Amino acid sequence: MSANGPLLRVSELQVHFSTRDGTLDAVDRISFEIGANEIFGLVGESGSGKSVTALSILGLVPPPGRIVGGDIVFGGRNLRELPERVLRTIRGREVGMIFQNPRASLDPVRTVAVQLARALRAHHDIGRAEVRRRSVRMLRDLGMPDPEAALTRYPHQLSGGMCQRVMVAMMLSSRPRLLIADEPTTALDETVGAQLLEHLRRFKEEQAASILLITHDMGVIAEMCDRVGVMHAGHVVEVGPVGAVFRDPRHPYTRALLDSTLRIDRDSPLSDIERIPGVVPNLLHPPPGCRFADRCAYVLPVCRPVRPTRREVAPDHHVLCQETVIREFAAP
């Protein structure tokens, strides 16, 4: 972390969705920080609350969702206290986001050239020829086949992976201080996905920017991130340096995620990969205690009725778990 404090601090964030069946507790009092020039990963199963957390940072939680508690402090300003007109100036310029569905984020009636030109001219005083040169270069760097032709097309004429590369180029052109990348490689094949991740890493190094990288892929976290937060059922259950969390996971869910991941350093067949038992709890009626209790091999009687508290188990390494379980889990 910077001596001047984190670039982003999320504290006790709560997000609810109102449904016909009741209130869905999607994000429940989560906290994490992202330092300057840092890549922070947010990992967990589908439905754990990762994307809702990302949308909350930008004030873009869709109805019927709403933020009901907590603070989101970016660059010393609490984004929850800012009026919408100020938030609009921060989105894209200071905080950019690569959405999970890039096609839906692009203007369907404008060509790629027009959309990239708008993004570039919003932040750079450059002429038409330079706009085109930079647009072609950005798309080529991101692995876009025939970038000159791509500029003339509309989003519906592009594949999902091509739309993703256009969205990434638009976001990087504004040179934000914080880039939120929500499953950025989902629509891409392995080779192009690796190119994109390398482009994000280079952007971070060249611009001294920070990145919030959201994924379900533990391998991407290991390759890209400095620190990681592990989400389960709306809770951040473990957060710390990637090396420490991967070498010595202190929450049973983190260990289960790692054990369910195929790793090339394991000399074992696919049948030996452990699967996480059970299902994620119903967040319309979440249990009062630990939300992983019904799936946990280390569960104790105290886990189900009593909400766990966040505990520091090592420097900059925190776990949301009962102290008794942490001791049991850590025992040789």
Report all structural domains of the chain as residue ranges with CATH numbers, in order of start: 8-94+174-330 (3.40.50.300), 101-173 (no CATH)
The pLDDT, as a whole number, for residue 271 is 47
Q: What is the mean pLDDT of the chain?
A: 91
C-alpha neighbours within 13 Å on the C-beta side of residue 42 = 29
The pLDDT, as a whole number, for residue 267 is 52
Confidence of residue 270 (pLDDT cuts 50, 70, 90): very low
Q: What is the pLDDT averaged over residues 71-76?
A: 97
State pLDDT tens for residues 278-325. 888 999 999 999 999 999 999 999 999 999 999 999 999 999 999 888
3-class DSSP state of 69:
strand
Tokens (6 digits) for 198: 């390398």
Whether residue 266 has pLDDT greater than 60: no
Q: What is the pLDDT averaged over residues 261-268?
A: 53
To the nearest 10°, report the CA torsion of 244, 248, 249, 255. 130
**Percent above pLDDT 90 for the chain:** 73
Q: What is the pLDDT averaged over residues 170-185?
A: 92
Confidence of residue 181 (pLDDT cuts 50, 70, 90): very high
3-class DSSP state of 87:
helix
Give 180-239 as a 3 state SS string.
EEECCCCCCCHHHHHHHHHHHHHHHHHHCCEEEEEECCHHHHHHHCCEEEEEECCEEEEE
Q: What is the pLDDT averaged over residues 255-272?
A: 64
Tokens (6 digits) for 71: 């603070």
C-alpha 177/C-alpha 181 separation (Å) is: 13
The pLDDT, as a whole number, for residue 264 is 43
Whether residue 268 has pLDDT greater than 70: no
Confidence of residue 227 (pLDDT cuts 50, 70, 90): very high
Q: What is the pLDDT averaged over residues 142-156?
A: 94
265 sits in the region (left: phi over 0; alpha: psi -120 to 50; else beta) called alpha
Confidence of residue 128 (pLDDT cuts 50, 70, 90): very high
Q: What is the pLDDT averaged over residues 85-100?
A: 91
Whether residue 87 has pLDDT greater than 80: yes
Give, in order, the Cα–Cα distances in Å from 211 to each of 105, 118, 269, 309, 330: 19, 23, 35, 27, 31
Confidence of residue 263 (pLDDT cuts 50, 70, 90): low
